[in-house]
Amino acid sequence: MSILELRDVRYVYKNKYRSVEAINGINYGFEAGKVYALMGRSGSGKTTLLSLMAGLDLPTSGQVVREGVPTSETDLEKYRRENVSVIYQDFRLFPLLTAAENVMYPMELRGVKPAEAKRRAAELIESVGLPDSVLDRFPPMLSGGEQQRVAIARALGMETKILLADEPTGNLDEDNSANVFEILRRLAHDDGYCVIIVTHDEAIGQKADVTVRIRDGVIAE
C-alpha cells in the first residue's frame, strides 16, 4: 500500500508574462520500506515534485495524498512537522546552532525536553557515523559530508516515515556519497522508511529499489 500517492499532480510556475508547466499530470504511489530515486534532466520537474511531496506548496491541480489524506485538506505546517522530513543538497543547517542543536531543533518542536533531545541527538549523530566530537561543532566547522550526515540525523530526529532527499550527495565526494546512500538505504530497509531521493547520480539510481524517471513533467518510465 502506498504511503504517499500522487494523483494527477500538476504544477504550473507562472508570472505576469508567461507560465511554465513544471509537473504535468503525474500519478504514482510510494511505499514504505523502499528507496526511490527520482531522476531526470535539469528542469524536468523532479525538485518541484519533491517540494510538493514535502508539503512546501500545493499542486496547481491533482492531489498529493499521504495515507489517504490529501495535503490540500491538511495543515501543511503540521504535515511538514509530523509527516515528512527533508534533506537538502546544500544541507540547510542553522549556522548558529551546533550540530547537536540542529538535530535537537525538530525534536523540540515536537515537545521533547531539551535534555532528552540532546541525548537523542547524540544517538542519531552516532547512528549516521559521526563521532561525538561533532556534537558541539557549528556547521561551518564541519565538512560537506559531515554536514550532510548531520542533516540526515536531523531528518531522523523528526521521526517521520517519509524521508525526502534533494540531491543529498550532490556536494559530496564518492566515498561520502556512498556512505550517505548507505544510511538512507538502511533507514528504508531496516526501519521501514519511505526514502525518496532526487538525484542525477546514475549510481544511486542503480542502487535504489525503484527508479522513477521524469521528463518534461511526466513520468517517463
> Which residues of this protein are in contact with another protein, per CB under 8 A?
48, 51, 54-57, 76-82, 86, 88, 92, 94-98, 100-101, 104-106, 108-109, 114-115, 117-118, 135-136, 138, 140-141, 158
Smallest gap from residue 161 Cβ to another protein (A): 15
Q: One-letter amino acid identity for 128?
A: V
Q: Position 19: which residue type?
A: S
For another protein, give the closer residue by CB, 76 or 218: 76
* Smallest gap from residue 82 Cβ to another protein (A): 7
State the Cα–Cα distance between residues 86 and 155, nearest whole angstrom: 6
Taking the C-alpha atoms of residue 98 and residue 150, their distance in angstroms, rounded to an integer, is: 10
Q: Which is nearer to another protein, 86 or 198 (CB)?
A: 86
Instruction: Please check whether residue 2 is in contact with residue 195, taking contact to mean a CB–CB distance below 8 angstroms.
Output: no
Which residues make beta-bridge pairs with 13?
20
Report the nearest approach of another protein to the CB of residue 207 (Å). 26
Single-letter amino acid code for the residue at 208: A
Quote the least distance from Cβ 206 to another protein, whole Å.
28
Query: 93 vs 208, which CB is nearer to another protein?
Result: 93
The phi, psi pair for 13, rounded to 5°, reads -85, 130
